[in-house]
Amino acid sequence: MLDTARRYEIPEGIELDFRVAGPVVRACAWAIDLLIRAGLYLVIAIPLSFMGGMGMGVTLIFFFVIEWFYPVLFELRQGATPGKKAMGLEVIHDDGTPIGWSASLIRNLLRTVDFLPFLYATGLIAILLNQDFKRLGDLAAGSLVIYRDKATLRPGLPDVKPLQPPANMTSDEGRTLLAFAERSPRLSSERRIELAEILTGLTGKQGEAAVTELHAYANWLSQGR
């Protein structure tokens, strides 16, 4: 597949669209997380180094916890580590639901295998061979790394008094009317009239009167009447 767009239909019949994250952006996110962990290691190791052998033992325990549970903690809290969040990424289940603790734990524990023989070589090969860019941990956990696209607000409709459209208007025509009304503010007056007059048979009007009539129909439809 040439693009990274994926679509999943939930049992309610609603289709969810995802953009799967590729290896380059994920590598950048990993590098950011590595720098953050390195900073945490220094903050912990320097003061504990003055405690001798006990300090070394405590330091190793902290290192273990940070290395293995840093990603799990952030994925459960916000769906992404700070590095992934900085790159606009998120970890989810294959079905689009938020990542759970078991899946997050599995995908992160298997980083050991993905790292082999060095620098995540096995994980990179798995990503390149998989159309969803999944490393072995993702395959085992049933997880997916996607772009966290910002929610887009639906454009407002022109301020026209709602008017019930003709009874013979089809559902396809209704969707077209809504799309036309949403796009109208970005169109020139001439272009709005040109498009509106295509439906002269529906409105019985021409020129700006046809445009206003279609906007009134769209406002009626948008209110779910």
Q: Are 24 and 127 members of one domain?
A: yes
**pLDDT at residue 9, rounded to an integer:** 67
Q: Which of residues 147, 181, 199 is at a domain's end?
A: 147
For residue 195, is it within any domain?
A: yes
Question: pTM for this one?
Answer: 0.66
Q: Are 93 and 175 members of one domain?
A: no
**pLDDT at residue 15, rounded to an integer:** 66
Q: Are 35 and 69 members of one domain?
A: yes
**pLDDT at residue 1, rounded to an integer:** 40
Q: Are 204 and 140 members of one domain?
A: no
Q: Are 142 and 60 members of one domain?
A: yes
Q: 37 in the Ramachandran plot: left (φ > 0), alpha (ψ -120 to 50) or beta?
A: alpha
CA-CA distances (angstroms) from residue 135 to 54, 76, 130? 38, 19, 8
- What domain range includes position 139? 5-147
Phi and psi, residue 156, nearest 5°: -75, 155
Q: Are 28 and 130 members of one domain?
A: yes
**pLDDT at residue 11, rounded to an integer:** 63
DSSP annotation of 169 reads -
- Quote the number of domains for the chain: 2
Q: Are 138 and 187 members of one domain?
A: no
**pLDDT at residue 74, rounded to an integer:** 96
**pLDDT at residue 178, rounded to an integer:** 85
Q: Are 113 and 27 members of one domain?
A: yes
Q: Which of residues 114, 147, 180 is at a domain's end?
A: 147
The tens-digit pLDDT sequence of the chain (225 residues) is: 445 777 776 665 566 778 899 999 999 999 999 999 999 999 999 999 888 888 899 999 999 999 999 999 999 999 999 999 999 999 999 988 899 999 999 999 999 999 999 889 999 999 999 889 999 999 999 999 999 876 655 667 888 888 888 888 887 788 888 888 888 888 888 988 998 888 888 788 889 999 999 999 888 888 765
